[in-house]
Amino acid sequence: MTDGPQGRALRPTDCAAAARIFRLPAGVQVRDLAVMSILFAPERRFAVSAVLCLLAGCMPGLTPIRVLPPLGDQGAVYFYLEPVSESSTDLAFSVRGMAAERDDGTRVPLEVLRKEINEGSMTDPLLWAWGRVPPGGYVGVALDVARATIAGDGGTGDLLLPEAPTTIELPFQVAGGQMTLAYLELKVAESVASGFSFAPRFTGRLPNPALPAVAGFCSSPTSDTVTVFDKHTRRTVAVWPTGREPWGLSVDAEAGRLYVAASGADVIEARDLVSGAEVGRVPLRTGDEPRELALTHAGRLLLVVNRGSSSVAFVDPQALVEVGRLQVGERPSTIVVDKSGARAYVVNTFGNSLSVIDLANQAVVLTVPTDPRPIRAQLSRDGTRLYVAHQTSPNVLVLSVPGMGLSESLYAGLGMSAIAVDRRADRLYVAMDPEHRVAEYLPGSQLQSGGFDAGASVAYFLVDDAEDNLFLVQTALRTVRVLSLTSRRLLGRFETAHEPVLCVVAGERS
């Protein structure tokens, strides 16, 4: 573990030893363990991280997962690099360093996340650099290029470079405790106008807020932030600071609110859907560790899954007060509410069970045993089947609703990490690790009907009803991929500011 201005790096690298200690299924990598470390309860997370960091040595190039200290009075800046819109030559360049340049001429170093840039291969924006900086006025970004090359008919040749760092002009203000995000786009023709030298020329812009109808939100408990994105353009548009360890999110579009479960602070925050400003909060009990949220029909009740106290709290979302609570199974993690708003199903991960809640009476009416370590549940299109995925069992249980008897069991294999239902076609999707594959099942079939390679671990699925798109949240890559469930093709991807654990949009199915 190393301490630095941007946070504490977790570098677990001895794969075999880590697998033995944590009794992982064969093939699970320590990269996945690093992500998994943030899933542990706060009282265990430091110990888990310490063990992982002691196991150093076998995975060169591992991108560290870091737990950042509180932002305090500092601000933060994030710079995304756009793909070039003009006809591009085969230009590539290496970055030695970047810095935010203040209006008094001083420069604050940034962390460069992408030092090798090949403009011709970019198809989506990339988070280029970020950092925590003092509040105040800034005139732009200083870019120090180490090397630039261009390919031509005679091969690839080096370009001459500027003697000093180039300032990308983009005036912006940074407020203490707030975050600023900007996009930069290289003007290739102007940058290599001479044909033998590279004089970087960029345009910069501060993105407009996403309209509530197209806004999406991703939580990152390692950085105490929520990343805001536009689901139509698939662009990150803002980063909001939150309370400690934000996890569960819920959107109430009619009320113009985003509810955030600050797990490390035992608080539910209500935030304005456009500005991100906190408009109220609900203090919970010490040790509740709220994990996920769900709004009932018409937003009349906000359900809070408390992992730490093994309970579900009922919150009036308008008055922002807790109006009741009940005990469920051990270490609940997720919750599903049926379309009528009559019942909720709580997944008790350590209790190996489901709690069925009568919402009108706020009472547990049934406890259903599951296979070991259930992680998520999803209702079928007509609401007559409940699918339950497990972390350490190879089976997806299919329970009949409302009776909750076992209808059938789908063999998926070990390592399930997420589950979703496409309710237009009633297809079931199951994310599998360590294969990094998403398996597909047709309704009523026990055999896989297809699937696709996700390219990396999938921590969470989000189904957007309005667009019929599937969002794949990939924590370790700091990426969300978007797949059309209609055309079955990948629409694109976007990078979040920090490691996301789940995402929501208005009208989602999670």
> Which tens digit of pLDDT belongs to each residue from 378-392?
999 999 999 999 999
What integer pLDDT is reported at residue 154 of this predicted model?
73
d(CA 80, CA 181) in angstroms, rounded, equals 8
> Is 278 in contact with 269 (CB distance < 8 Å)?
yes
d(CA 508, CA 140) in angstroms, rounded, equals 37
What integer pLDDT is reported at residue 84 of this predicted model?
83
In the three-class reduction of DSSP (H, G, I as helix; E, B as strand; rest coil), residue 53 is classed as helix
Q: Whole-prediction pTM value? A: 0.87
**Cis previous bond, 212, omega within 30:** no
Q: How is residue 31 annotated by DSSP? A: H
Tokens describing residue 206 = 């501060």
What integer pLDDT is reported at residue 195 of this predicted model?
80
Could you tell me if residue 103 is left (phi over 0), alpha (psi between -120 and 50 degrees) or otherwise beta?
Answer: alpha
d(CA 186, CA 263) in angstroms, rounded, equals 40
d(CA 90, CA 84) in angstroms, rounded, equals 12
d(CA 379, CA 471) in angstroms, rounded, equals 18
Closest CA to 180 of 149, 204, 199, 162: 204
What integer pLDDT is reported at residue 478 of this predicted model?
96
- DSSP states of 204-263 as a string? EEPPPPPPGGGEEEEEETTTTEEEEEETTTTEEEEEEE-SSSEEEEEEETTTTEEEEEET
Fold of 243-369: Methylamine Dehydrogenase; Chain H (2.130.10)
What integer pLDDT is reported at residue 41 of this predicted model?
45
**Strand blocks (E) in 284-373:** 290-295, 302-306, 311-316, 321-327, 332-337, 343-348, 353-358, 363-369
Beta bridge partners of residue 268, listed in sequence order:
261, 282
Closest CA to 400 of 371, 379, 420: 379
d(CA 79, CA 400) in angstroms, rounded, equals 49
What integer pLDDT is reported at residue 89 of this predicted model?
66
* Helix runs in 251-368, H state only: none
As a 3-state breakdown, the chain gives helix, strand, coil percent values, each rounded to 5, of 10, 50, 40
Closest CA to 429 of 400, 387, 401: 387
Closest CA to 379 of 248, 504, 510: 510
Q: What distances in angstroms separate CA 220 from CA 12, 76, 172, 227, one per listed residue?
A: 20, 15, 25, 8
> Is 308 in contact with 288 (CB distance < 8 Å)?
yes
Strands 155-158 and 107-109: unpaired
Using CA of residue 285, residue 287, residue 288, residue 290, what is the dihedral sign?
positive
Please state the length of the chain. Answer: 510
Closest CA to 306 of 275, 349, 270, 361: 349
> How do residues 277-288 score in pLDDT, each as one tens digit?
999 999 999 999
Contacts of 235 (CB under 8 A, 6+ apart): 125, 183, 207, 229, 494
d(CA 467, CA 299) in angstroms, rounded, equals 22
Would you list the domain boundaries of the chain? 2-67, 75-205, 243-369
d(CA 118, CA 90) in angstroms, rounded, equals 8
What integer pLDDT is reported at residue 223 of this predicted model?
96
Beta bridge partners of residue 156, listed in sequence order:
151
Q: CB neighbours (10 Å) of residue 88?
A: 16
Residues of the chain with pLDDT under 70: 1-65, 86-89, 120, 507-510
- DSSP states of 102-144 as a string? ETTS-EEE-EES--EEEGGG--S-EEEEEEEE-SEEEEEEEEE
> Is 484 in contact with 504 (CB distance < 8 Å)?
no
Q: What distances in angstroms separate CA 203 from CA 119, 154, 169, 191, 495, one per listed residue?
A: 15, 31, 8, 12, 20
> How do residues 403-450 score in pLDDT, each as one tens digit?
999 999 999 999 999 999 998 889 999 999 888 999 999 987 888 888
**Cis previous bond, 60, omega within 30:** no
What integer pLDDT is reported at residue 53 of this predicted model?
46
What integer pLDDT is reported at residue 88 of this predicted model?
59
Q: What distances in angstroms separate CA 168 from CA 5, 93, 161, one per listed residue?
A: 24, 16, 15
